[in-house]
Structure 1
């Protein structure tokens, strides 16, 4: 006796065709790190009265920062990000404010050609260094030496000063154009570097100052900024639309040129990332800003851009705090973009010794037993780690109305239900399923006048869409052929046909215009390719 076997087919919801994948990539841990520098909601964006030409952080806690704008230096609090004090004792526009290594003094130049030194707390002027015949553009303190500084200006001279006596020790001559930037060596107070609009970067050693610069590097464009990298063996220079890394120990050899900016790079600084970004601690980056409004983060160890951020204004200056908690950017219209990052507090020792009470001991945790309700819910909030075998709970599939009708082989009702849903992706998916079942034309022949109008409205709207045109144009032709008598007998259906005809004619005219344009451009592209 033959055994009857019934095959039970499992049905699945119809799925629309997937759209092309977007170009958005998954953000990296380092990108998340730089995006975590955000303006606190309670602190409004600071707007000063003119362009912010320089930014400098105090090397000591709490790392307040100074911004130069107009004839003023404003010192901001690192905690509240609000103006803390203002120094306005300049006779002309202030430039290049810098803190001394102990954070107690602040020096700044101005366009009158002088350098002034102030007490940070009292804002009292302590020294007035006169010697430049043109505007002073750069002032820098050595890393540890508290008694000297160097300055450079539009007179193309770099001066080394004895601050206590207000006298210049050396005139370092060698540049042929404006000196606009400079930096001190992080490992040797006797060495510093200067950059000029003559495209040259010069390395100076005050121990052999009489012989001129000990090294000269040609950046190729007017130099806007130059910094030493933390090791002391590399320098980074900014000029034109490029940032270049040079090996000083190797004789000034060019290691890499980063040219991702579209306009002049105005300022660069060193930023530091830690374990929070998914990297090892103490990894340094070069942060650059430009007139194109972009801030770029450059990993000079791997020679690649790791993050980019767009701002609405041309950017002139940038600073990064030593404790990695604050990033400040100054703009040409006086807007100060301050990004503050929450630093995880060190909670070790919070339950330490209180005066007179000794050490506070934590209460022992109660062990979970089967008699406790929590025993049966333990581990539900734990996150899986590497090596765990994860069992996912099956998701309940939500079935749409047209899928239920397709499962019952009610093809016409499924098509009408999809048309009423007004989702073109679902409608086309149902039509493709009916084509696979060889039932689409039969469904069209069984539609009444109102349902035919619904179908024609859909065809008129989406038949020229490139994603659906391959199926819908052929279907439109079949609908007109099969239901010609119904169309003639209904004014409403004739209106739908006229609209469909106008849509198709407009698409044909558009395609013809595009072909004409292609015919004009193609010879030009071939000529350009030969050159």
Structure 2
């Protein structure tokens, strides 16, 4: 069997990007976003827990319910005179409650759009409303600094808590207990309540105005968001702080649970939605948006992600599914003994057809030992600018074949200038530096004796190459000096630490340690 020609290996010089994790693959399987323009800020987004998982968008003076597939409004709840806030579904998807600027809570029948109940009692706008875990009551969080629990059948207030000193803009209800809920206020605190004892269970300090709260599905842990920080609290341990997360550089506005409780989403005015692992609280992926994110929602199966922005845009992303069915079967008809027989043939028994590999132009030239032509083919602007790793890989292959001198020699002014420009542009890149320094040395060896015979442009390029090499040399010297200073600082710190461990009482540092410390300070 004849030896097969080995293609030029370009993978060595490809820039290694970030490691592709299962989360990256999972969260990238969404179609390009569909943008819907609304009038005013998108205050809140909530998905119906039951299929087909319609989502409610609270914006301006209405709550609109969208079909996630068609992205069209199916229901429009417009019984508001002023701004509506925090429209959220009940666990059966049949009822929806919403607060508003009018200081009342409205309860709607989703199917008929009828206003079923009107809960009055607050004295300031109500920004968040939620159904309790059993679906029998509603909890409301208001700017009048109170949290109220309402009975749906009687339309009466069961209990009211007044523990905060400022506006309450965030709240959450326990997913496992109908009597437990938390509130977050602009007074920087988060309060937990138990309706059975009619008092506040405990209070924790977030140290920034609280914008959003969520419970994890277990009900034993809740998360608060305020400023640029998220804090995770253990509710069963009396509000013990578990960890702090700070991956945003602007205000965090909303939190959501995704992937059946396995992932946490946070939206921010920095135009990013961060996704965290609910087990170790590490950031695993980032979604980018064209403007600051005010609200976000996900369907229970992660089929749809919807984000609302400060400019009134709604971004809807749907998960893409593979259209190819590997188990799809084809029917073929053939004649046996004069009768047509339908038989089912699986794709799995089909003989795969080996596709012919198309060799690149420089590999074809290398196979024919045409080194100059191979070099010319990778120095054209399209290849050199778009895929410089291919050009460098060929130069390395020519060095290995001992054909670099042959490829560089005997060139006219134009082709020589092209090669010199490429070297000057990329010789400072760490991935290419070793190969291109060798190429530059060979190039100068080839043309040093007849430099005067070259045209003015190639000589100018050689001068620029000299300047570039001097700049790189100065940079390396500066970095080496900086490295030495850092080593000195580290050694001084280690010496001081070691002496403090050995002699905890008063002591005189050694001359060497004093010298190191003086030099580091200087």
Specify if TM > 0.5. Answer: yes
Superposition deviation, residue 342 in structure 1: 5.9
Deviation track 1:263-288 (CA, whole Å, cap 9, x = no partner) reads: 12111111125xxxxxxxxx522111
Which residue in 2 is equivalent to 1:500? Answer: 461
Residues 58-457 of structure 1: pairs in structure 2 closer than 5 A: 58-146=48-136, 148-209=137-198, 212-272=199-259, 284-341=262-319, 379=348, 400-406=363-369, 414-415=371-372, 418-419=375-376, 422=379, 447=410, 451-453=411-413, 456-457=416-417
Unaligned 5+ residue runs, structure 1? Answer: 1-7, 274-282, 348-361, 384-391, 407-412
The answer to whether the 8 A contact 1:418-1:426 is kept is no
Unaligned 5+ residue runs, structure 2? Answer: 491-519
TM-score (norm 1): 0.74
**Shift in CA distance, 521/68, structure 1 to aligned 2, threshold 3 Å:** farther
Measure, in 1, the Cα distance between the counterparts of 2:303 and 2:393. 52
Measure, in 1, the Cα distance between the counterparts of 2:145 and 2:123. 10
The answer to whether the 8 A contact 2:58-2:64 is kept is yes
Superposition deviation, residue 219 in structure 1: 2.0
**Shift in CA distance, 334/422, structure 1 to aligned 2, threshold 3 Å:** same
Q: 1:57 aligns with which of 47, 64, 80?
A: 47
**Shift in CA distance, 521/325, structure 1 to aligned 2, threshold 3 Å:** same
1:26 counterpart = 2:57: no
Measure, in 2, the Cα distance between the counterparts of 1:188 and 1:10. 70
The answer to whether the 8 A contact 2:273-2:287 is kept is yes
Measure, in 1, the Cα distance between the counterparts of 2:282 and 2:487. 34
Q: 1:478 aligns with which of 432, 445, 448?
A: 445
Measure, in 2, the Cα distance between the counterparts of 1:342 and 1:426. 33
- Bigger mean CA offset, 513-522 vs 152-161: 513-522
Measure, in 2, the Cα distance between the counterparts of 1:218 and 1:16. 55
**Shift in CA distance, 419/93, structure 1 to aligned 2, threshold 3 Å:** same
The answer to whether the 8 A contact 2:331-2:345 is kept is no
SS of residue paired to 2:291 = coil
Measure, in 1, the Cα distance between the counterparts of 2:301 and 2:217. 15
Q: 1:461 aligns with which of 411, 414, 421?
A: 421
**Shift in CA distance, 461/116, structure 1 to aligned 2, threshold 3 Å:** same
Measure, in 1, the Cα distance between the counterparts of 2:408 and 2:298. 68
Measure, in 2, the Cα distance between the counterparts of 1:50 and 1:520. 56
Superposition deviation, residue 121 in structure 1: 3.0
SS of residue paired to 1:213 = strand
Measure, in 2, the Cα distance between the counterparts of 1:297 and 1:441. 53
Superposition deviation, residue 339 in structure 1: 2.1
Deviation track 1:66-97 (CA, whole Å, cap 9, x = no partner) reads: 11111111111244221112222222211111
Superposition deviation, residue 26 in structure 1: 2.5
Measure, in 1, the Cα distance between the counterparts of 2:233 and 2:141. 22
The answer to whether the 8 A contact 1:56-1:98 is kept is yes
Superposition deviation, residue 434 in structure 1: 6.7
* Greater C-alpha radius of gyration: 1
SS of residue paired to 1:477 = helix
**Shift in CA distance, 379/261, structure 1 to aligned 2, threshold 3 Å:** same
Superposition deviation, residue 108 in structure 1: 1.1
**Shift in CA distance, 518/47, structure 1 to aligned 2, threshold 3 Å:** same
Superposition deviation, residue 439 in structure 1: 7.1
Which residue in 2 is equivalent to 1:279? Answer: none
Superposition deviation, residue 301 in structure 1: 1.3
The answer to whether the 8 A contact 1:415-1:431 is kept is no
Measure, in 1, the Cα distance between the counterparts of 2:183 and 2:278. 21
The answer to whether the 8 A contact 1:415-1:430 is kept is no
SS of residue paired to 1:207 = coil
**Shift in CA distance, 403/105, structure 1 to aligned 2, threshold 3 Å:** closer
**Shift in CA distance, 420/114, structure 1 to aligned 2, threshold 3 Å:** closer
Superposition deviation, residue 336 in structure 1: 1.0
Superposition deviation, residue 64 in structure 1: 1.9
**Shift in CA distance, 469/152, structure 1 to aligned 2, threshold 3 Å:** same
**Shift in CA distance, 13/70, structure 1 to aligned 2, threshold 3 Å:** closer
TM-score (norm 2): 0.75
**Shift in CA distance, 221/427, structure 1 to aligned 2, threshold 3 Å:** closer
Superposition deviation, residue 482 in structure 1: 2.7
Superposition deviation, residue 404 in structure 1: 3.5
Superposition deviation, residue 62 in structure 1: 2.9
Deviation track 1:141-173 (CA, whole Å, cap 9, x = no partner) reads: 112233x31211111111122334433222211
Superposition deviation, residue 513 in structure 1: 8.7
Superposition deviation, residue 52 in structure 1: 0.6
